[in-house]
Chain A
Amino acid sequence: MSPEALGKRPPREGLLEVDDLFVSYGPIAALKGVTLSVGQGEVVALIGANGAGKTSTLRAVSGLVKPAKGAVRFKGQALTGLKANQVVAKGLAHAPEGRGIFPNLTVQENLDLGAWLRKDGDAIAGDLEKCFSLFPRLKERRAQLAGTLSGGEQQMLAISRALMSRPTLLLLDEPSLGLAPQVTQTIFRILKDVNAQGMSILLVEQNAHLALGLAHWAYVLETGTLVLQGTGQELLASEAIRKAYLGE
């Protein structure tokens, strides 16, 4: 059951398919049948109010919670039933909400952990340099404990750490959380660059304006159900979205 669509989605090779996903925490039903997809090289945004179930969707995709019902397929393979650590190995990286960095490890150690499943040592060093060129501040602070970084730097670290696993799909949960507008702008500009180099992204955001500006396609989630989908531009222009999520 797909929600109404605004605009037309350019066809792409499929990457992630989520089919009729249900997630419950005890008696609380967080997701009640979510169906969405992410194509190769696409940025897909998932927006919605607090408690709508955005984080739950990402957690179900990356195996951190077990869905009560529904299927997740990645590159045509079923992910359902795999544990989080097995999902990472398939090429999915999750930068969790609230960043989830390791505060008492150094920046460098955090990044090493991101690459921990990889065996290609030389390529890891290259990717590390790439991360440092995206976020030069991290390079200066590589020996510093991650917990002593500013909020924005921690977010940069969380994204870099996710990139270090060299994923096919990046799951980002509220990268703008608690950051000053300029820092958020910087991060979104970098996400755009990362996507331009071919990375597919599933982005969860409160900041609908920024998310829709970046997204090729977006879904609107309301209390566990998708209510609307469309191209980022069409949703930005839509009356309902402007009222509900952009505060206009």
Chain B
Amino acid sequence: MKSFLPVVAATVVLAVLQLLLGTSEYFVYLTSLVGVNVVLAVSLNIINGMTGQFSIGHAGFMAVGAYVAGTTSLILKDDQLSFLPPAVSDQLFLLLALLLGGGTAGLFGFLVGLPSLRLRGDYLAIVTLGFGEIIRVVIQNSDGLSKSLGAVPGLSLVGSFVGKFGGALGVSGVPQRSTFFMVWFWVFVLVLLARRLADSSHGRWLKAIREDEVAAEAMGVDTTSYKVRAFVVSSFFAGIAGGLFAHFVPIINPGSFTFVKSMEVVVMIVAGGLGSTTGAIVAAVFLTLLPEGLRSLFLQLGGGDASLAQKVDQVRMPIYGVLLVLIMLTRSQGLFGTHEAWDLWKRRKPAEAKA
């Protein structure tokens, strides 16, 4: 029962915030962007930080979630649960789409992780890099894929689903159902899970794998199985992030899920401190707001002329690069190392309890 308490409290707080601020378009857009990046960073941190594996294809899983969830909502656009208020019905349909998107991404995570996580070292990095690119290229050519799938008996439904991906043009017209509430609800669920995981015995085995895989194996830890599980969870949440993203941007296309996006998330967790959920959150918030802040600053400097503001996107990655180099030079373990904000508070408690 105790574990439900934070969920209930968070739901209430988020619902109140939603009622107070949910109508301000810019606020909702900005916080959604931040929330999606926090989900991406915290979930990638589970595999890269806590488990010590190195995945650099998070955007691929995000894409899977975005396309599956977005297309699902597109198909179910006009359906309503008539016995519920329209807004609530919309959120339930959104939740369904998100779970489908996340679930599919998790399944892909399993398929990618099982063979590559058996091996040690850099294989996962190479395989995830390849996976991210393959997914993007496949979506870019979804029309051809849709035709081929349609020709296979029993897969015609999948074929027509893929046919809605729109190739390089992307999917537009996904109902904009994402809300401040839904985004931050998932942020909350993931952060709670990551925190519980880190404190659990399960999390301790992951840490042991990160520290010394051979020794962990020699302790009796089934390292492959634990790594695959962590990877599936991580991919699931990347899919959720993608699904949320698909429901507040006007159009999703392969260009949103490039290698650059994957690296952006890697930069966030490395800057925040690999292994620290707090670090991932802080870095994700900061690195999302930074370009947005620059954009509005430039917009003012340019006296409303948007051409200067558009340059922000071009200089963003170089700025990230410089920032990362500076952090590595001054604090190679990242801002937070492996520490957590809540540890400060926790550490005081057992000390008191013992005294």
Contact B205 A116 (CB under 8 A): yes
Closest-by-CB residue of B relative to A104 is B211
Given the known interface contacts A102-B211, A102-B212, A103-B211, the answer about A109 and B218 at a Cβ–Cβ threshold of 8 Å is no
A237 to chain B, nearest CB (A): 35
Contact B214 A64 (CB under 8 A): yes
List the one stretch of B5-13, B15-23, B39-47, B220-228 in contact with chain A.
B220-228
A230 to chain B, nearest CB (A): 30
Bits for A84-111, please: 1 = Cβ < 8 Å to B, else 0. Answer: 1100110000101000111111000100
28 contacts between A and B (CB under 8 A): A62-B218, A64-B214, A83-B217, A84-B217, A84-B220, A85-B217, A85-B220, A88-B218, A100-B214, A100-B218, A101-B212, A102-B215, A103-B211, A104-B211, A104-B338, A105-B204, A105-B208, A109-B204, A112-B201, A113-B204, A113-B205, A113-B216, A113-B219, A113-B221, A116-B201, A116-B205, A116-B221, A117-B220
Residues on the B chain within 8 Å of A116, using CB: 201, 205, 219-221
Contact A85 B204 (CB under 8 A): no
Contact B219 A161 (CB under 8 A): yes
Contact A112 B215 (CB under 8 A): no
Set A84, A89, A105: member contacting B218, Cβ < 8 A: A84
B261 on the interface (CB 8 Å rule)?
no
Closest-by-CB residue of A relative to B215 is A100
Residues on the B chain within 8 Å of A225, using CB: none
For chain A, the count of residues having a C-beta within 8 Å of the partner chain is: 23
Which chain B residues numbered 219 to 247 have a C-beta less than 8 Å away from chain A?
Answer: 219-223
For chain B, the count of residues having a C-beta within 8 Å of the partner chain is: 18
Closest-by-CB residue of A relative to B223 is A85
B141 to chain A, nearest CB (A): 40
Residues on the B chain within 8 Å of A96, using CB: 214-215, 218
Report the tally of A-B residue pairs with Cβ distances under 8 A. Answer: 62
**CA of A101 to CA of B211, assembled, Å:** 9
Closest-by-CB residue of B relative to A164 is B219
A154 to chain B, nearest CB (A): 12
Residues on the A chain within 8 Å of B215, using CB: 96, 100-102
B195 on the interface (CB 8 Å rule)?
no
**CA of A96 to CA of B215, assembled, Å:** 7
Contact B220 A165 (CB under 8 A): yes
Residues on the B chain within 8 Å of A102, using CB: 207-208, 211-212, 215-216
Residues on the A chain within 8 Å of B205, using CB: 113, 116
**CA of A101 to CA of B215, assembled, Å:** 7
Contact A64 B219 (CB under 8 A): no
Bits for A33-56, please: 1 = Cβ < 8 Å to B, else 0. Answer: 000000000000000000000000
Given the known interface contacts A100-B214, A101-B215, A102-B212, the answer about A83 and B204 at a Cβ–Cβ threshold of 8 Å is no
7 closest A-B pairs (Cβ-Cβ)? A88-B220, A100-B215, A102-B211, A84-B217, A117-B220, A85-B222, A94-B218
